[in-house]
Amino acid sequence: MTMLRAERVTLGYAGRAVVHDVSLDITAGGVGLIGESGSGKTILARAFLGLLTPMAGNIWYGDQTLKKADMRKFRKDVQPVFQAEALDPRMRIGASVAEALPVRGPRAARARVPELLEQVGLDPGLAARRPHQLSGGQRQRVVIARALAAGPRLLILDEPTSALDVTVQARILDLIASLDTERLLITHNLAVVRRLCRTSHVLFAGRVVESGPTRDLLADPAHPYTRALRDAVPKLGGSPPQARGTTEAVPAETGCPFRLRCPLAAPECERPPVLRDVRGRQVACHRAEDVLVT
Amino acid sequence: MIEVRDLRVRYAGRLAADVPELDVGAGECVAIVGESGSGKSTTLLSLLGLTQDAEISGHVRVCGVDVLAASPRGLREIRGARAALVMQSPQSALSPATRLGVLMRRALKLHGVGRGADRGGSLDEIMAESVAAVMLDRTILRRYPHEISGGQAQRFAIALAIALGAEVILADEPTSALDVTVQAEVVGVLRRLREQRGLALLLVSHDLALISTIADRVLVMKDGEVVESGPAARVLTEPAHPYTRELLEALP
Amino acid sequence: MTSPGAEVPLRRSLPRIPDRFAAFGAVLIVLIVLAALMAPWLAPYPDEPHPLEGSLPPSGAHWFGTDQLGRDVLTRVLYGGRTSLSIAVSVLAVSALGGVTLGVVAGYAGGWIRDVIMRVTDVFLAFPALLLSLALAVVLPPSVNTVILAIAVTWWPWYTRLAASVAASIATRPYVDAARCLGVPAPLIVLRHVLPNSLTPVLVQISLDAGGVILTAAALSYLGLGAQEPTAEWGLMVQQGQTLFTTNWWIGTFPGLAILVTAFAFNMLGEGLRNALDPRARTVK
């Protein structure tokens, strides 16, 4: 059974919807949520963390909606890993990690904090430092240690490495891969998803446009946007990245949100596409078969 | 267009960048690769005399001007006109209450572009042409900075450079704040300008994959020093230095 | 961005008040506070009338002269500092405590809680500060406490506003979200994360305001609504000296100078703090 599930959720701020009617399960083996700025991926993460109540639809935690669930248990089970800025600049590292311990108090902290720091590959001696005295990679490790302190079963990771240098990023990804928890990974970086997530969902303009096994999605995209995304990533020694169509088009009010940017747009794209099964995955595109062929 | 010999930049006695040799000719693209603290941005800024409180020694010529010996006035002549700097987030450098067209016109007038017969065409023609060269629509000139996307802002910055008659573009992580699909567009524009106008490009980036698709030559920097340099194809396929190898292996 | 064409100039030419000014201000404040605290030991004479030595001009025996009752003006300036400074400290402490608490709660909670707090704040801000203080001071019996109350009532809304806007921005930081995800109760989040990280701009504002409070308190006393004879208070002393200015200039001038120097010192410190802490005032590379 999946621990956390979004059921037709619509999310937004101040009455304006940003994410429309999204359903997705956080399944085992890592789930990736891929999207660029404005796709709604971060707001979806906030909803999964119970920081934002959906305007419509429900977040299910086991067999209860988040509105009714035991939040103490939920907070213990589900923890976020934000970017390295997720540390209070005025708090010492040790205090930051200790705050996250389920059993609080100086004795528990003295025992557990060094263990947690070691678990994420940090010298326990860093506990006395403040965030600005650490490198970006070290800070990100502290953020992970803090999340682990609660003893979570699921980590929701929002761009955990995008602010880091590549060599540091690689080591943090190793650490995340070695952790014994379920994970929902939110990122724009396809390579990171490939490494850490068995299943992926591609988000465009607040809608899921393609879901399926990460490997299939990246090898053989069925949605033109997934393909554009993949092709735009520069490859070492490869040909220059290609911009397909314009990226500046505003999502349409009706019809397929991608149609103004889509090289395959056809008259039928004026009708909104629904998610349908195409070759082992779900795609919201009238022309998915054509995308797979070309 | 850019000629550097034995450049050393020090901050409070600490060596921040040491570049023995760096040349960029017209129509060439050279990239400086490195992680944070490698000195890559310091190197770039020192080429335009933009480093503050730094001691710089060596020999730097940009567009024929000796940067280290130049007067503030001489520097201003190359900076912004013949050699343009493109930064990571151009939007923050655009005055929010001014339409882009007005902004560009002011910049051109300030540099005396379109006055007399030094370069063909009226101001309007130059502006329209430069905006078209970065594949932006002319209507963008009527917009305000907050009404355009990051990719558009970055291309507008490049258009401004072209309108001012830039021969060299120095770009510091020009696409790392952008989405990948938008990045592709900006890189495409830079490549086109280089091929069609013989623009010289000096690019600073942490993205080896991106660099490999656009640069002719690469300098790899670490802790202020150039650890490896050479043709991009060679450095990125047969790295000689262990650090370059480490960078390549870290690529996800 | 191409540098000269763009609207934003290289920021190296921003005028900055050197930190030396701030340090000078701080030293000055310490000296003034020490002088006030140690008034009983520093004062050359006891603060009592000497009918035979009235209205003496400044001399070796009485550096600042004496007033019409024969009290040494230097002595009274020192004692007056105690009153004026304790008024300033009390006003700032009361209004900062109340104002910041309300502001941080408003900023963190948002929604209707913020709306209610901010509307109340706006109502207080809508009255001209001095007028409101005056009205209060007229209703209440004139005393030092009245002055404190009257000024504090008009002062706190500024801190509420400031703290609310800072706290609202702090509340969106990832570390606050992370704390919420840990199930840390809201009051603890405010106390532990939001408040400490919102304090810097408030502290700057307080030091900038100290001078203003002293001046306002002096104005109220000057109008006869604050400290009463025989209490020494700078504003009151200026008022008493004013009528005699043409004949005995020293009676009003020295307490006036004390007000001026103190207000100036706090302002220097505040400006310096602001420049040191406000990233916008810093030069960029």
Which CATH code fits A4-219? 3.40.50.300
Contacts of A123 (CB under 8 A, 6+ apart): A117
Radius of gyration of chain B (CA): 18
Report CA torsion sign: A185, A189, A191, A194: positive
Residue C7 has pLDDT above 50, yes or no: no
Whether A85 and chain C come into contact, CB under 8 Å, resolves to yes
Average pLDDT score over chain C:
83
Which pLDDT tens digit goes with each residue over B161-203? 888 888 999 999 888 888 888 888 888 888 888 888 899 999 9
Over residues A157-182, mean pLDDT: 89
| B223: its two tokens | 């802790």
Show residues of chain B in contact with C3, CB under 8 Å.
Answer: 48, 50, 79-80, 85
Whether A99 and chain C come into contact, CB under 8 Å, resolves to yes
Q: Give strand pairing partners of B19.
A: B7
CA distance C2 to chain B (A): 5
Domain count along chain B: 1
Over residues A57-72, mean pLDDT: 90
CB pairs under 8 A between B and C: 63
Give percent of chain A with pLDDT exceeding 90: 51
Is residue C52 a part of any domain in this protein? no
Domain around C219: 17-39+70-276
The predicted pLDDT at position A252 comes to: 54
- Cβ–Cβ below 8 Å for B45 and C1: no
Of B160, B162, B157, the residue nearest B173 (C-alpha): B157
| B129: its two tokens | 């042409």
Contact yes or no for A127/A92 (Cβ under 8 A): yes
Which chain A residues in 116-175 lie under 8 Å from chain C, judged by CB atoms? 143, 146, 150
Helix (H, G, I), strand (E, B) or coil at B137: coil
Of C2, B47, B232, the residue nearest A238 (C-alpha): B232
CA distance C131 to chain A (A): 39
What's C116's DSSP letter?
Answer: H
Tell me the one-letter amino acid at B199: L
Burial (CB < 10 A; 0-12, 13-18, 19+), residue B135, is: middle
- Cβ–Cβ below 8 Å for C5 and B104: yes
| B143: its two tokens | 């917009």
| A141: its two tokens | 């490790």
Other CB atoms within 10 A of residue B177 CB: 18
| pTM of the full structure | 0.81
Listed in sequence order, the DSSP H helices in C110-171 are 111-126, 129-139, 144-170
Tell me the one-letter amino acid at A205: A
Which pLDDT tens digit goes with each residue over B81-111? 788 888 887 777 788 888 999 989 888 888 8
Q: How far is CA B173 from the centre of its chain?
A: 9
The predicted pLDDT at position B241 comes to: 93
| C201: its two tokens | 């701009």
The predicted pLDDT at position C43 comes to: 83
Phi, psi at B223, each rounded to 5°: 50, 40
* C185 → chain A, closest CA residue: A72
Other CB atoms within 10 A of residue C277 CB: 13
Contact yes or no for B59/B5 (Cβ under 8 A): yes
The predicted pLDDT at position C248 comes to: 87
Residue B136 has pLDDT above 90, yes or no: no
Residue C3 has pLDDT above 60, yes or no: no
- Cβ–Cβ below 8 Å for C2 and B80: yes
Using 50, 70 and 90 to split pLDDT, how confident is the model at A138?
Answer: very high
Over residues A104-122, mean pLDDT: 85
Give percent of chain A with pLDDT exceeding 70: 94
Of C45, C91, C32, the residue nearest C257 (C-alpha): C32
The predicted pLDDT at position C4 comes to: 34
The predicted pLDDT at position C18 comes to: 58
Show residues of chain B in contact with C7, CB under 8 Å.
Answer: 93-95, 98, 103, 106
| C247: its two tokens | 């004949």
Is residue C57 a part of any domain in this protein? no
Listed in sequence order, the DSSP H helices in B134-207 are 150-163, 180-197
Contact yes or no for B181/A228 (Cβ under 8 A): yes
Tell me which of B218 and B139 has the higher pLDDT. Answer: B218
Of C221, C225, C201, C211, the residue nearest C268 (C-alpha): C211
Over residues B65-84, mean pLDDT: 82
| A205: its two tokens | 């303009």
Domain around B73: 2-250
Show residues of chain C in contact with A50, CB under 8 Å.
Answer: 181
Helix (H, G, I), strand (E, B) or coil at A64: strand
Domain count along chain C: 1
Over residues A91-112, mean pLDDT: 84
Over residues C47-62, mean pLDDT: 82
CA distance A245 to chain B (A): 10
**Any idea which of A67-76, A126-135, A249-258, C139-148 has the lowest mean pLDDT?**
A249-258
Phi, psi at C252, each rounded to 5°: -95, -25
Helix (H, G, I), strand (E, B) or coil at A87: coil
d(CA B137, CA B151): 13
**Any idea which of B175-189, C97-111, C127-141 has the lowest mean pLDDT?**
C127-141
Mutate to test the interface with A, among C114, C115, C172, C181 (most CBs of A within 10 A): C181
d(CA B80, CA B91): 17
The predicted pLDDT at position A242 comes to: 63
CA distance B36 to chain A (A): 7
Q: What is the interface pTM, i.e. ipTM, of the complex?
A: 0.84
Q: Which residue among A49, A85, A87 places its CB closest to the CB of C181?
A: A49
CB pairs under 8 A between A and B: 100
Burial (CB < 10 A; 0-12, 13-18, 19+), residue B117, is: exposed
| B183: its two tokens | 């990045």
Using 50, 70 and 90 to split pLDDT, how confident is the model at C279?
Answer: very low
Which pLDDT tens digit goes with each residue over A174-221? 999 999 899 999 998 898 999 999 999 999 989 999 999 999 999 999
Is residue C154 a part of any domain in this protein? yes
Q: Which residue among A36, A237, A243 places its CB closest to the CB of B236?
A: A237
Is residue C236 a part of any domain in this protein? yes
Angle between helices C195-222 and C129-139 (to 10 degrees): 60
Q: Which residue has the tokens 């020490």?
A: C34
Is residue C151 a part of any domain in this protein? yes
Other CB atoms within 10 A of residue A43 CB: 18
- Cβ–Cβ below 8 Å for C175 and A87: yes
Listed in sequence order, the DSSP H helices in A150-223 are 166-178, 190-196, 214-219
Is residue C61 a part of any domain in this protein? no
CA distance B226 to chain A (A): 18
Show residues of chain C in contact with A87, CB under 8 Å.
Answer: 175
Which run of H or E residues covers position C256? Answer: helix C250-277
Residues from A contacting B (CB-CB < 8 Å) are 36-37, 136, 165-170, 173, 188-189, 191-192, 194-195, 228-229, 231-244, 247-248
Listed in sequence order, the DSSP H helices in B17-92 are 40-47, 72-78
Q: How far is CA B128 from the centre of its chain?
A: 22
Residue A139 has pLDDT above 90, yes or no: yes
CATH number for the domain spanning C257: value is 1.10.3720.10
CATH number for the domain spanning B219: value is 3.40.50.300
Burial (CB < 10 A; 0-12, 13-18, 19+), residue A117, is: buried
CA distance A249 to chain B (A): 10
Which pLDDT tens digit goes with each residue over C232-252? 888 888 888 888 888 888 888
d(CA B89, CA A153): 38
Tell me which of A109 and A72 has the higher pLDDT. Answer: A72
Which pLDDT tens digit goes with each residue over B6-64? 999 988 888 889 999 999 999 999 999 988 888 898 899 888 888 877 888 899 988 88
Over residues C101-129, mean pLDDT: 91
Using 50, 70 and 90 to split pLDDT, how confident is the model at C228?
Answer: confident
Show residues of chain C in contact with B164, CB under 8 Å.
Answer: 2, 5
The predicted pLDDT at position B120 comes to: 56
Whether C182 and chain A come into contact, CB under 8 Å, resolves to yes
Contact yes or no for A98/A113 (Cβ under 8 A): yes
Radius of gyration of chain A (CA): 20
Tell me the one-letter amino acid at C57: P
Residue A41 Cα distances to A22, C59, C121, angstroms: 11, 79, 37
| A196: its two tokens | 């850490």
Show residues of chain C in contact with A76, CB under 8 Å.
Answer: 183
- Cβ–Cβ below 8 Å for C179 and A99: yes
d(CA C16, CA B108): 31
